[in-house]
Structures are given as C-alpha cells and as structure tokens.
Amino acid sequence: METSNLSVKDQEVLNDLLEKVKEQTSLFLGYPVSKDFNYQGLMDFLKYPMNNLGDPFVTSTYGVGSRELEKEVVQFFAELFRAPVDNWWGYVTNGGSEGNLYGLYLARELHPKGMVYYSEATHYSVQKNLHLLNMSNIVIRTQENGEIDYEDLEHTIRMNRHMPVIIMANIGTTMTEARDDVGKIKTILKRLAIQHYYIHADAALSGTYSALIEPRPAFDFEDGADSIAISGHKFFGSPMPCGVVIAKKSNRDRIARSVAYIGSVDTTITGSRNGHSPLFLWHTIKRLGIEGLKSRALHSLKVAEYTELKLKKLGISAWRNPNAITVNFPTPALGICKKWQLAAENGSSHIICMPNVTTQHIDLFITDLEAQIELVF
C-alpha cells in the first residue's frame, strides 16, 4: 500500500490493519457479505469527492457525482422487482437499514395513524426505525422456521381493523433466511376488507436473488409490495456498505411535495450521499448481467445444499428454508464460532453461503468441526 506523508509508525499501523483485514476476510462464513469483487477498475474515482446529494432524478448544482449511473442502478432494481412501469422511484442508500427507514417513512406519511406489524424475527434495526419515526407497532409471532405466523397476523389485524395496516415483511430473515409471503399477507388484508394499507419488503438479505430463482417467492411489487429495500454489500458485494430502496413514484411525490414547502426536493434520508457506491453496483450489474447474477444465485444454493448434507452426515441437525442459502445448525464450540465468525442466537448458528463461498471452504469448516467432535468424545 502506498500512502504519502505518514510516519513510519503510522504506516505500520495501517499495514498491520491491512494484514488483519485480509486474514479475517479469508475465514468468514457467518455473515451475509460477498467478498468476491474486484473493483480495481474504479480506483481512480477515489481521487474525487463524489457526492450524489439530493434526489438522484433531480439534477443538482453539485456536479461531482454518479447520478446518471445511480439512475441506471435504480432502474435495474425497479425492473427486477417488477415495479409499476412509469411509477417507480428509488435511490442508492447506505444500506438495508436506511432503505427500511425510508419505506416506513413513506408509509407513515401516507398513513399517519397506521399500525405497523412485523414478526419477531425482524432485523434489529427496524425497532429503532419505528422508534425514530414514533410509529405504533405490534410484534407478530413467527413460525418455527422464522416465517411470520399468518394466523397471529390475521387475528391481530382483526382486533385493530379500524387502523390502516403497515406491514414490514421479511424477505430473508437475519437468522434463518425465512421469507414472509407477500401474497398470503395480501389475501389476509383482502379477507379483512382492509382499505388502507402499505407493505414494505425488507429484502436486505435475499431480495436480489429471490427475483432470479424458481419458484419465485412472492415478495415484489406485482405480489403487492409498495416499497423494497436491499443491501448492496451482501449478495452483490462492495467494499463499503450500500443498498437500494425502490418505491412507487406517486408515493415519493407526496413526500417531495411536503418538503417542497421548505424550498427543496430533499427526498432522501441523508443530504450528502455516497457517490462511489452506485459505481460498485453499476459495475456488477454491467459485468454480470441477469444471467451472471442468476448463476451466482444457483451457485450459492448448490453450496448451501452441499453444506446441509455434509453437516447432516456428521450427525448435526442442520436445516434450511426452501431456496435459502443460509444453513442453520446448533451453535458449535466457541473456538469454531470465533474462527469462522459465526453468529449465535438462542443456541442456533448459521453459515451463509454467499456467492464467494465454495465447497472447499465448507470442507475446511467441516474438518474443524470433525476435530472438535473427536475432542469431545
């Protein structure tokens, strides 16, 4: 690494950190982050203060940015998620959490007296977002696999039928990658004759590849979602956290109007926005295309199937949700969790077979597990 004007000591600090990052990256199975990217071709952009401040679809007087590419990224995801033609909008966020905040913000502006329903397995950031937005909310039970309990949802909505319904649906929960079925949720709303509702899909984890697999899970705009958030650093992979949120343009316009009152089209959560992250997403879209992304998804599913099988062969009760790349199993010894950076919750852990994970990685992990098992018996 070349850095100018640093003392030898400070340079050493950087070198040490780089070594540590390299090492930690190589053994990494527990978090949903792809590492198989090469954005070397974009290095020169680091020389410039790229900032897409404001709405990507409204030009800004600040010209050093990547708005044009950001718009292409947004369009790609709007089409992938079957957003209504000529009625979509979105932007590149700092991650899935910001996209979820945006979805809830839109929902609140449309239904200020709405009640938010979300399952126990919902990402921890959602509760904070609800707190920030001061929205009334009710937690719904989950089924064994992490999917929302539709009976509990129906029962709870029925008791609050006088209030508009805002649903935060999980398209891949953090722990077990369970998908709430947006089609089933819509059926419930219909059955209860709910007139005013909004469905946001937290597709941070599995949004992108859910659109590419068969059978296609019910989660997108055609299935009934009003907005969808994904994380860009997960399935796509990027050196810094980023994400995309897609919403209906007509809904976004209502927010834009209310803020136009203070003399601005400040439609995004933050003012200054990362002008580099759209480049990474754009680069991956162009490099892989739909077909490349699809084979990436199929590779992950295959490795997940392999992992589940291997663990079962060891006598470990591993399991997976349908079409999930997350393999769940009882939390192994602490040393193994630390080495492979496995998260643990209530005695359960998982390996997430992101596109960079290969069967060789899994074999190494299995060898560690075997050694551990021998140690115990």
Ligand X SMILES: *Cc1c(COP(=O)(O)O)cnc(C)c1O
The residue (of 111 and 233) whose beta carbon lies closer to ligand X is 233
The residue (of 92 and 165) whose beta carbon lies closer to ligand X is 92
Q: Provide the minimum distance between the beta carbon of 128 and ligand X in the complex, in angstroms, as a whole number.
A: 11
The residue (of 189 and 228) whose beta carbon lies closer to ligand X is 228
The residue (of 107 and 369) whose beta carbon lies closer to ligand X is 107
Residue from 136, 146, 139 nearest 181 by CA: 146
The residue (of 95 and 355) whose beta carbon lies closer to ligand X is 95
Please identify, among the stretches 90-98, 212-220, 293-301, 360-368, the one whose residues bind ligand X according to the rule CB under 6 A.
90-98
Distance CA 246, CA 275 (A): 18
Distance CA 301, CA 324 (A): 7
Contacting ligand X within 226-285 (CB under 6 A)? 231, 241, 243
Please identify, among the stretches 142-150, 172-180, 258-266, 336-344, the one whose residues bind ligand X according to the rule CB under 6 A.
172-180
The residue (of 164 and 210) whose beta carbon lies closer to ligand X is 210
Report residue 131: phi and psi, to 5°: -65, -45
The residue (of 78 and 244) whose beta carbon lies closer to ligand X is 244
Quick one: angle between helices 124-133 and 96-110, nearest 10?
A: 40
The residue (of 171 and 369) whose beta carbon lies closer to ligand X is 171
Distance CA 153, CA 185 (A): 8
# residues near ligand X by CB under 6 A = 15
Taking CB under 6 A as the rule, does residue 52 contact ligand X? no
Q: Provide the minimum distance between the beta carbon of 196 and ligand X in the complex, in angstroms, as a whole number.
A: 25
Contacting ligand X within 92-151 (CB under 6 A)? 95-97, 123, 125
Taking CB under 6 A as the rule, does residue 355 contact ligand X? no
Please identify, among the stretches 18-26, 64-72, 198-206, 278-286, the one whose residues bind ligand X according to the rule CB under 6 A.
198-206
Distance CA 57, CA 54 (A): 9
Q: Provide the minimum distance between the beta carbon of 178 and ligand X in the complex, in angstroms, as a whole number.
A: 10
Out of 54, 56, 164, 172, the residue judged to bind ligand X by CB under 6 A: 172
Q: Which residues contact 163 (CB under 8 A, 6 or more apart)?
A: 113, 114, 115, 136
Interface with ligand X (CB under 6 A) = 95-97, 123, 125, 170, 172-174, 202, 204-205, 231, 241, 243
